[in-house]
Chain A
Amino acid sequence: MPFLLENITVVAAWLVVAVLIAIALIVAAALLRRRMRARYFMRLDAERAKAQPVLQGLFQNKVPYEKAVADLRNRGDSYRQLAIQELILTATADAATMAVARRLCEDLGYVERWITTLGKVKPRQRNGKPSGGFAPRLQLWWDMALAVLPGHYGFLARALAAENLGRVRVERAVPSLLAALDDPHVDVRNVAIRSLGQIREVKSLPSLLRVLEEVIKAQQEVSLRTIKSALVQFPLSAVGQFESSLHHAHQRIRFFVTDVVREIVEREIQGGYDFVAQRDFPPGVYKAFVEQLWKDGFADVRARAAAVLSYFLEMRTSQILSDLMEDPQWFVRLHTVRALGKPFYQPVLPRMVRCLQDPHWMVREATVRTMESFGAAGVSQLLDSLLATEDNYAREQIMEELQRGGLIPSIIEQLDGPAPEKAIEVLQLFVSLRKTSLIQNALESHRAPTVRLTLAGILAAAIDQEVLETLQGVAKNDPAPMVRETAADSAQRVAARLRKLREARA
């Protein structure tokens, strides 16, 4: 057929018709899909409703286990199986029902099925070369293409199997999950790592540490956060497995493993452990921390080691941490000061005060926060430091944290107490550095006239238009005549100072 204009008309007209048919098909597909989904969920809901009483009865010990298993096993339909599996997996999230749910997964054959699914692939070749490049990407695209074919779920099914094994936390799944660390698809590897972290079986640690090494050396597409997330879930009793990695020649491996130990220790502490002692660590690991890691050539290792050392609560570590507060790297000082926020280290306070004048603002900020965490003694020391220091950066940092911590109202309350001198001095300093917002607020709203009176006097030292307006307002509206008088007097002084300033500028 020659390529003529007339033919284009016909072709275009046919194209219009074809696309209109395609649109009609899309509409039909959308409606069909909606109908199918509605049916699907309706059946699933019905099956959930049937299985729910059996499972609830089982979890509440009202139905004998064997009877429940027999009942659930008889439900052969795929919707039924799906509904039961979903309900059991949901029950794994609750510590009270976890054990029964796990046993059910075993007895109903789910665990076996997941393990089998996970093993349906050849492991990828390890060649020690950096990951990335064209071939792995091509493999990913190929996997994706396979995944959309009907009936071929490939990596999706394997990843889901790994996920379920992690949720159920069965130890016999560990070998399969360890094998899945070599799965050709990165999703499966990611989920297997996560699941191993959830199961926390110590024998999986060497493999996970091998993966960490590969990730750091860029021989794996898995992210560092994924592997670290898994490693930090292991219990404190497993840290012995990290010993060789703590001495590794690669500084980033030493750093990540130290950081993992830090996370583990912090989690244990949050979980109710009073403190971590030498006995909680294998001798080799303890020795590595107290003798080697805090002196490591890589500053990140020193910083993370400081956090772990702080939990030992020993005189020896107290000395080490005091030394680390003077580390040449600011972030080592930062982590050290943060780590010292435990009552045991209160004796270190006088040395910590020096960090208030650190050249890096984050160290100053962390110091103030740590001192605040010591309670009344820390705050008192902080106020003394505020009054003693000539360093405006340190002063500003302390003032910021006193505001953020909500401590200014309690300082203002002291004005009404038997010894208000220190509070007055602190507030005067606030005024001199133009940090008057909270003082103005208290002047306008505090219930005690004596406090308002003192504040009106303190604000006389300000050089600020806004303070002037506040004082003038109080001079007019305060219910106490004495306060009005003092506020008027202070307002005059502030006005005079502002006038002088304007003249000087002019």
Chain B
Amino acid sequence: MESHAFYYHLLNLFNSIVVLYFVFGNGTYTLLMTMSFVQVWLHNRRLQYAGLNEVRDSAVTPPITLILPAYNEAKIIVDTVHSLMQLDYPSKEILVVDDGSTDNTLPALIQAFGLQRMDFIYRARIQTKPVLAFYFNPKIPELTVLSKVNGGKPDALNAGINLARSPYFCTVDSDCIIERDALLRLIQPVLRSKVNVVACGGIVRILNGCKVEQGRVTKVSLPDNPLIRFQIVEYLRGFLFGRTGWDLMRGTFIVSGAFCIFHRETVSEMGGFSNDTVTEDIDLIACLHRYLREKKWIYRMCFISDPVCWTEAPSDLINLGRQRRRWQLGLGQTLAKHHEIMFNPRFGVVGMITFPFYVFMEFLGAVVEFGGYLIIPLGFLLGVTPLALFTLFIFLGVVYGSFLSAGSVLLEEITYRRYPSLKNLLQLLGYACLENLGYRQLVLFYRVQAVILFLLGSKRWEAVKHYGIEKKQQPAMATR
């Protein structure tokens, strides 16, 4: 009998933790949502007087180096480089770092851009794997391709930083398409800020389903694959709510490495991207916070919601699992590596709010939430969990989540309206309502797997396969 009572109390305790987790998590997200509504709406209004033309023409707009690490991306690399060359920015340089690809990545680039092998000087301010060769065409001086021994994405990025010359560099994933004026928009906080902006990230949107012509997205629509539609809703919530809200609180801790600008000298001085984690972008942000706080430098990191980078999302469960495990594992590794930030008032909002939020809600919370999804319904079926708790759980774990997701679609509709068709809007709203009935639990499962991998000390980089977006040749449709 005593052991039964013990288990009953244990179950009650766990249930209470789950409920508290949901109350706190949903509360935080609601707060972020409210702030984001104001911030995104205002940002959208402010674009009326943003003066992009002045940024383009201004003599003080800093040059940017776009660093594109590539490993076995033969199918898409040429299109990506073409899209980068079309970017509307007064002074840019493109560095493609071929990280020891075993496919046709390098030959494809050489052929497409008439590159010739040259012997340039490589000053390894940040140590990297050996550089094998440089490829350059004097007629396209803004493009340089560097070939090196495979060392992983952080190593490739570091090689790019070593070769970069501009005060800012922008990391771009090889499967991404950046909107024509995205760099002009992304540099705005740098131009307007009174203090040194060391990192600034833009929004990442899902490319699947869109029409791409000559490296540009010409029509935005939803793909047929439901798995990707769920991810679209998830991205909207993550970027429009989460990151905007954290930015408003000056608590930016994550920017997507798929599209982000960094202050080169600061990153270089700090030692560049590290190989310690499988998410080098999150780790770099944490490293920058630590480095700059130690130096007592005044700095700013920001996120803005209108420069768009389109990326290909995993279209099957295997690749989705790989991606989400990597993200969660990387988050865990970063949080563990930078545990000094936790509740450290020296780090301000990041130390007192953002970092603990990521530890308890995003990393450990995955286990609690997953356990909740398993144990509470099971307990209810077995008659151990009371109806009250079960109803509360349904409210907090399913219904409220749908509310938040639907809110993100509304925010998108109020501000950027990237999906012009009414059918797409209705589909997005439908998927927002359904997201918490299966998809969320699936992603949680991958995240819990990653927590286990973290506890086992795994450092495995799970590569996501990119299939490339079908390029259609129909004429572009006018979109508002």
List chain A positions with a Cβ less than 8 A from chain B.
5-6, 8-9, 12-13, 15-16, 19-20, 22-23, 26-27, 29-31, 33-34, 37, 41, 93, 131-132, 144-145, 147-148, 156, 159-160, 162-163, 187, 190-191, 194, 198, 215, 218, 220-226, 228-229, 232, 263, 266-267, 361, 396-397, 399-400, 403-406, 434-438, 441
Contacts and interface: CB of A to CB of B under 8 A. Distances in A.
Contacts of A5: 386, 388
Interface in B402-430: 402-403, 406-407, 409-410, 413-414, 417, 422, 425-426, 429
Nearest to A399: B119
B136 A163 contact: no
Nearest to A37: B417
A226 B413 CA distance: 32
Contacts of A191: 49, 51
Contacts of B425: 30-31, 34
Given A263-B59, A361-B123, A434-B119, A147 B51 contact: no
B427 to A, nearest CB: 12
A18 to B, nearest CB: 9
Given A19-B403, A194-B51, A30 B42 contact: no
A462 B399 CA distance: 73
B295 interface: no
A232 B395 contact: no
A156 B399 contact: no
Contacts of B353: none
Nearest to B393: A12
A222 B392 contact: no
Nearest to B135: A437
A435 B119 contact: yes
Interface stretch (B187-195, B223-231, B270-278, B279-287): B187-195
12 contacts: A9-B386, A15-B395, A27-B429, A29-B410, A30-B429, A156-B46, A187-B46, A198-B54, A221-B194, A225-B190, A266-B59, A438-B118
Given A37-B417, A41-B480, A406 B138 contact: yes
B41 interface: yes
B4 interface: no
A224 B193 CA distance: 8
A315 to B, nearest CB: 29
B391 interface: yes
Contacts of B413: 30, 33-34
B333 to A, nearest CB: 34
Given A23-B406, A232-B60, A267-B59, 18 more contacts: A8-B391, A9-B386, A16-B391, A16-B399, A19-B402, A23-B402, A30-B409, A30-B413, A148-B41, A220-B194, A224-B194, A225-B192, A229-B54, A361-B121, A400-B121, A403-B118, A404-B138, A406-B139
Residue among A31, A34, A162, A267 facing the most chain B CB atoms (10 A cut-off):
A34
A437 B410 contact: no
Nearest to B414: A33
B54 A194 contact: yes
Contacts of B402: 19, 23
Contacts of A23: 399, 402-403, 406, 433
A335 to B, nearest CB: 15
B473 interface: no
B45 interface: yes
Interface string B366-409: 00000000000000000000111101101100011011001101
Contacts of B149: none
Interface string B318-329: 000000000000
B336 interface: no
B297 interface: no
A226 B192 contact: yes
Nearest to B430: A27
B194 A403 contact: no
A26 B391 contact: no
Contacts of A160: 48-49
Contacts of A232: 58-60
Main SS class of interface, B: helix
A397 B45 contact: no
Contacts of B133: 437
B8 interface: no
B53 interface: yes
A166 B117 CA distance: 49
Contact of B141 (A37, A41, A159, A404): A404
Interface in B31-72: 38, 41-42, 45-46, 48-49, 51, 53-54, 58-60
A115 to B, nearest CB: 16
A244 to B, nearest CB: 23
B120 interface: yes
Contact of B51 (A29, A30, A163, A228): A163
Nearest to B193: A223
Contacts of B194: 131-132, 215, 218, 220-224
A12 B386 contact: no
B86 interface: no
Contacts of A22: 403
B436 to A, nearest CB: 11
B38 A144 contact: yes
Contacts of A6: 388
B91 interface: no
A33 B136 CA distance: 50
B116 interface: yes
B91 to A, nearest CB: 14
A223 B191 contact: yes
A53 B407 CA distance: 42
B429 A9 contact: no
A238 to B, nearest CB: 16
A489 B123 CA distance: 36
A20 B398 CA distance: 11
Contacts of B41: 148
A193 to B, nearest CB: 11
Given A147-B42, A191-B49, A263-B59, A9 B192 contact: no
A239 B206 CA distance: 50
Nearest to A145: B38
A279 B30 CA distance: 65
A159 B138 contact: no
Contacts of B389: 8
Contact of A27 (B46, B193, B406, B480): B406
Contacts of A218: 194
